Amino acid sequence: MAIIAPFKGLKYNLERLDDISNLTAPPYDVISEEEQEGYYQADPHNVIRLILGKKKTGDTDWDNRYTRSADIYKRWESEEILVRADTPAMYVTSLTYDLGDGLGPRLRWGLIVLVRIEDEDSRVILPHERTFSAHRDDRLKLMRACNAQLSQVFGLYEDPDNSVFKPLKKAIEAPPQISFDFRDGTSHQMWVIRERSILKKVAEAMYDKAIIIADGHHRYETSRNFRNMMRARYGLRPPNRAFEFLMMYLTNMNDVGMTILPSHRLIKRCEPFQLDSFLDSLKPWFEIAAFPSSKSEPSAQAMKLRRMLEEKGHSTSAIGFRCHGDNSFYLFSLKEGVRDEMGEDLHASLKKLDVLVLSRFIFQKSLGFSKEDLDNEEIFHYKSDMGEALSLVDSGDFQMAFLLNPTKMAHVKEVTGNALIMPRKSTYFYPKVLTGLVFNKIDPYEIIEVP
């Protein structure tokens, strides 16, 4: 069962720093080089210097982006730019955002706590996507250098009665300790909850729940690898040492503010490629419809295409297609009774996923990509914004785009419930959890008190 605990959070000292909106940043793995520079310029104390330091010519084992992050982290502590709480707390957050779909703002609640790290086969903390060793190695180097967890892993739990948040209801009626608007238009608030009776009730409400990792698979696996290293050095006793836990942001998957965006696939170049032959090759599996496409109103076009995909996606797997140099938009609708042709190696729950329909029938069988090619970021690129994906094809930056509906939460639950893993970039939980609200310092001799 999920073991959660309050912790002595390390936070920016807002008595010395004015604007926390200039100190925070999204997770490191969604920040481009251009955005990295923008966060560097935003404030000399922006968290980017910790989570995504710059590489330099001549970096060595003794002087590199990780050692420099650790030096900055230690200096900010000594200068009281970062201050650690005296007593353990749980951190409640609210996040308000607008998708621009005409439905108005949405509100998502989150709880930042420590969660005890589980072994792979425990079925308590469940991954849903594949990870890659290069990313795990990168985060492990940073964690070892800083002895801290700087970003939360984003976790989901099922709670239709909202039992976890019920004990917090009265506490969050008070004004939040932190409130600000971020540069992407989202609004953030955070409450610090220290009352032991409340913390105990929250921990008890979480005890019988499993946690699905929504975002931060690499950071979770890194924390487990770090824990194993620390166990080898410090032993298994006493229990509940700080390195046995990681910092997570937990959200109720039944929250009305939960949003999953699609990850549209773009292909830089696919040679040789002939449009008519490609469309003919899909006819055994898909019904194909072509629609005239306008480049003059990309936002209106994207909205129209999104609605078409959504409508068709209620009854079958639907995939949109746009190719550079062609003035049509194509809608591929999977025919009835052909899912079994995806391969005997796939579990029935995986065959329901649009991303695997796209991968097996179109990328592998029709276009001839290998399974290894599908993980090659030189070939495949990903965008959650349909309008941006279409514009990149129309401009010629990419040869083609395959447009998808968002993966359904029910499918995420079904796949993880069967101990299976989705392909990478199957989901895009939005908005991402900001880094910089609170950090977790790992003292190997500290014992975490579980309520």
User: How far is C-alpha 239 from the chain's CA centre?
Assistant: 30
- Contact between 400 and 321 (Cβ < 8 Å): yes
Long-range contacts of 285-288, Cβ-Cβ distance < 8 Å, separation of 24 or more: 285/334, 285/335, 285/338, 285/341, 285/361, 286/319, 286/332, 286/333, 286/334, 286/335, 286/361, 287/332, 287/333, 287/335, 288/330, 288/331, 288/332, 288/333
Q: Using omega within 30 degrees of 0 as the cis cutoff, is the peptide bond preceding 292 cis?
A: no
Q: Is 84 helix (H, G, I), strand (E, B) or coil?
A: strand
Q: Give the sheet arrangement for strand 380-383, strand by strand.
A: 286-292, 328-334, 318-323, 400-404, 264-267, 380-383
Mode of pairing for the β-strands spanning 153-157 and 245-252: parallel
Going by the DSSP 8-state scheme, the letter that residue 374 receives in this structure is G
* pLDDT (0 to 100) of residue 135: 74
The rounded distance, in Å, linking the Cα atoms of 280 and 277 is 5
Q: Which residues contact 223 (CB under 8 A, 6 or more apart)?
A: 117, 143, 149, 153, 246
Q: Is 392 helix (H, G, I), strand (E, B) or coil?
A: helix
* pLDDT (0 to 100) of residue 257: 92
Q: Is 400 helix (H, G, I), strand (E, B) or coil?
A: strand
The rounded distance, in Å, linking the Cα atoms of 403 and 362 is 12
pTM score of the predicted model: 0.92
Residue that the structure tokens 């730019």 belong to: 81
Nearest-CA neighbor of 345 among 373, 332, 364?
364
Q: What is the dihedral of CA 387, 391, 394, 397, to 10 degrees?
A: -140
* pLDDT (0 to 100) of residue 134: 66
For the chain, give every domain's residue range. 4-259+431-441, 263-405
* pLDDT (0 to 100) of residue 272: 85
- Which ranges of the chain have pLDDT less than 70? 131-134, 294-299
Q: Which residues contact 443 (CB under 8 A, 6 or more apart)?
A: 147, 242
Q: Which residues contact 307 (CB under 8 A, 6 or more apart)?
A: none
**DSSP notation for 313-352:** HTTS-EEEEEETT--EEEEEEEPTT-GGGG-TTS-TTGGG
